[in-house]
Structure 1
Amino acid sequence: MGTTGTVTLKDLAAALELSPSTVSRVLNDPDEGSSRWASAETVARIHRLANELNYSRNPHAASLRTSRSNMVGVIAPSLQDYVFASIYEGIARQASTRGYYSIVSSSHDDEQRRRALTDQILDRHVAGLIFGDAHLDSPGFFADFAKRGVPYLLVSRRLPGELSVTCDDYAGGRIAAEHLLGTGRTSFGVLAGQAGASTAQDRVAGFIDALTEAGIPDSRITAIYTNFDAVSGREAMAGILDIAGVPEAVFATNDFAAIGATGLLRERGLRVPEDVLMCGFNDTPLAEGVNLTSVRSPMEQMGERSMAMLADLADGKQLESEALMPEIVARASTRR
C-alpha cells in the first residue's frame, strides 16, 4: 500500500510480480480485453486485482508526477489536407497499438500559431509531440523546443539536425523526371509547391538534378513556387505559360496542384496528355480518379513509423531519421 493508504500502481505490480510499465499499459488501454501488452490471462489477473483492491487511477496526478501521460500531440499544417489526414490515420492507429491516444491541431503553417498550440498541448503533460508543419526557414522554433525535454520528432517534412520520418522526396523527384524523360520530352514546367517546405525543395531538387544529368539545359526548365493546392497549381501553370510558353511535360509536387494546372491548361485550349504530359506527387485517390500519373508517397506508413519512433523516444531509445521510398504510378496523363 502507498504511504497514504491508497493502492498504487507499484503495489499492484509487486503483488502480481509484474513490471509497473506492463500493469500501467494494461490498465490504461481503453480496450480492457486487449492482450497487446500481456497474455489474456495476465490481463485478466491485472484487472481482477485492481478491482479487488479498489485501485483508482488518477490521470492528472499521474501526469503531474511523471510530467508525462499517454497523450500525444500532433500539429498539422492543415486539417483539410488529404496527405496529412492520411499520415494522421497512421499515427492514430499506431498510437492505439502502443497504448497512447493522440490529439491533432492545425497551425495553418503559421509559426506563431504553432508556438501557441505547442504551449497549450504541453499544459496537458503530453508524452510527446509530432510536428508535420516544419519550415526550412524557421529552424529556431525546434532549437528552442528541444530545451523543454519533451520527446518530439517531425513527420512528412524534415529539418537538418532534427529527427524525422519522411518520404524520400529527393528520390521521388528523380523518379518523376526519369519517367517523363522516358517519354522523350525535352521541355519541362515545375509546379514547385511551398518554398519553405522540405517536401517541395527536395522534390524539385531531385527532379531538376535528374534532368540536368540527362543533358536538359536550365533554359528548358521553368519552376514556380506557390503552394500545394489546386488554386496554386492553376496560378503556377499560368505563370509558366506566360514566362516560357507551353512545356512538353509538367511535374507538380502535389496531386491537387497538378489537377488545378490541368484545368487551367484545358481553359487555354491545351490537352493532357496530347499537348502536355502531367505528373503529380503523393498518389491520392483523386489522382487515380482522374487518371493522373503520380509518385506514390507512403503516407500512412510515415504516420505509423513516426508514432512508433516517438514511443521509442519516450522509452529513452536513440534513433535516426527515416526516409521511406516512393514509387511511380503511371496513368493516362503521361502516355505518349
Structure 2
Amino acid sequence: MDGPGRAPTLREIAERAGVHVSTASRVLRQPEPVDGWSESALRVRAAADELGYQRNLWAASLRTRRTTTLGVVMPRLTDGVVATTYQGIEEAATRAGYSVLLSSPPDNLAAQRRAIELLVGRQVDGLLLSGLHTPGRAFVDSLPVGRVPMVAVTRHGEAGLPFVGADDVRGGRLAARHLLDRGYADIAIIAGPAHASTANDRLAGCTAELADAGIPLSPRRVRRSSFDVDGGIEAGHALLDAADRPRAVFAVSDTVALGVLGVARDLRLRVPEDLALIGYNDIPTVAQLPVPLTTIRSPARDIGAAAIRALLDMVDGREPDPRLLPVELVVRATT
C-alpha cells in the first residue's frame, strides 16, 4: 500500500489470500453462507481485515441497483410479541447481508402511509408491513411504492399481499376445543380490535369450533377490546360484573387476559373454580403468575425470520413462500 489512507485493491487482497481476484470479489460481496465460509473464503476475509478493506456500499448499490436495505413498518413495537417478531426479522436480515430500516408509527393507516413513503424514499429493496388494518386492499393498492416488493407479516389485513404469520384460525379452534374438553359450554370471547386480522382470525376459529360442537356463540358473549391490559379490564368488567357471567373466557391476547385476571381478583372470583381463562401468545410473564395462564403459543421470532425469507425471495425475483406457522396449546392452571 502506498499510504496510510489508501484503501486496498481487490488484487492486493487476492494476492495476500492466495486466490484469484474474482474469488476475492465474490467473497467480499456476499453474505455469510448458511453452512459457513470455506477455507479460501476465510483467507480472503482475514486478508481484507488485515489490509483495512471496507466495502463501498454506495458504489455497490449503483452496480446492482440495490441498497441491501429492507424497510419494516411495525406499529406497537412496545408490545412484547411484536418486539420478539422484530428480533426474528432483524436477525434473519443480518444473516442474509441486509440492514433494516424500522418505522414504528401509530396503529392507524395515515401514519403507516407516511412511514411507507419515507422508507420508499430511502430506496429500500423491499418492505415488510405489519399491523395492516382489515380490510387493507384499497390501502395497499393506493401506496406509491412502484415495484418495491412487499410482504405482510403478523396481520394480513385482507390486502392481497404474500402473508407470513401464525395460524390464528387454528389457534382459536384449539382454545375453544380445550375449554369444551374441560366441560365449559358457556364461553365468552374478548376478541380484540375489529381492525386487526389476527384478532378476527382467532375469533373466527373459536366461533367455528363452538359451532361444530353445536354451541352457537351469542353476540352478548363477544366483547371487543384493545390489545392491552386496560382493554382486558374494561371487557372483563362488562362480562364478569354481571349476574349471568360466563364460566370461561378466551382472550385473544395474553395482555388482555392479564386485565381479566385483575377483574376476577377484584370480584373475588376463583380461577379456575369460578372462571376458566385462556390467553394467546405465551408471553414470558404468564407462566410466572400466581395462577399460571393457559394460552396458545405463537412462534413470534420464527414468523419474523420466515417473513424476511419470503421478502428476499421477491427481491431476488422468485415466488415468495407465504406461510402460516403452527401454534400450540400450553395448558396451565387457569383451566
Provide the secondary structure at the position in 2 that maps to 1:154: strand
Match of 2:22 in 1: 17
Residue 59 of structure 1, CA deviation = 2.6
RMSD: 3.0
Show the 5 A alignment for 1:80-119.
80-119=78-117
Counterpart contact for 1:194–1:226, Cα < 8 Å: yes
Q: Distance in 2 between matches of 1:129 and 1:175?
A: 32
1:192 aligns with 2:197: no
Match of 1:58 in 2: 56
Q: Distance in 1 between matches of 2:222 and 2:128?
A: 31
Deviation track 1:140-182 (CA, whole Å, cap 9, x = no partner) reads 2222348511122111111442101110000000000000001
Stretch deviating more after TM superposition (216-225 or 59-68): 59-68
Q: Distance in 2 between matches of 1:190 and 1:19?
A: 59
Counterpart contact for 1:222–1:244, Cα < 8 Å: no
Counterpart contact for 1:186–1:220, Cα < 8 Å: no
Match of 1:234 in 2: 233
Deviation track 1:15-55 (CA, whole Å, cap 9, x = no partner) reads 533496654125xx7xxxx9967424224336747987x97
Provide the secondary structure at the position in 1 that maps to 2:123: coil
Provide the secondary structure at the position in 2 that maps to 1:193: coil
Residue 62 of structure 1, CA deviation = 3.8
Residue 262 of structure 1, CA deviation = 1.0
Among residues 136, 139, 146, which one is paired with 1:138 in the alignment? 136
Q: Distance in 2 between matches of 1:126 and 1:147?
A: 10
Counterpart contact for 2:150–2:161, Cα < 8 Å: no
1:183 aligns with 2:182: yes
Show the 5 A alignment for 1:241-260.
241=240, 245-260=244-259
Stretch deviating more after TM superposition (122-131 or 214-223): 214-223
- % identical equivalent positions: 36
- Which runs of 5 or more residues in structure 1 are unaligned? 1-5
Stretch deviating more after TM superposition (163-172 or 150-159): 150-159
Provide the secondary structure at the position in 1 that maps to 2:226: coil
Match of 1:313 in 2: 314
TM-score (norm 2): 0.86
Distance 1:184 1:46, change over 3 A: closer
Count matched residues.
322
Q: Distance in 2 between matches of 1:99 and 1:35?
A: 11
Provide the secondary structure at the position in 2 that maps to 1:104: strand
Q: Distance in 2 between matches of 1:111 and 1:7?
A: 48
The aligned amino acid for 1:327 is E
Counterpart contact for 2:27–2:45, Cα < 8 Å: no
Distance 1:35 1:41, change over 3 A: farther
Match of 1:3 in 2: none
The aligned amino acid for 2:309 is A
Match of 1:121 in 2: 119
Stretch deviating more after TM superposition (224-233 or 129-138): 129-138
Deviation track 1:88-136 (CA, whole Å, cap 9, x = no partner) reads 1111111121111223221221111111111222222222111111111
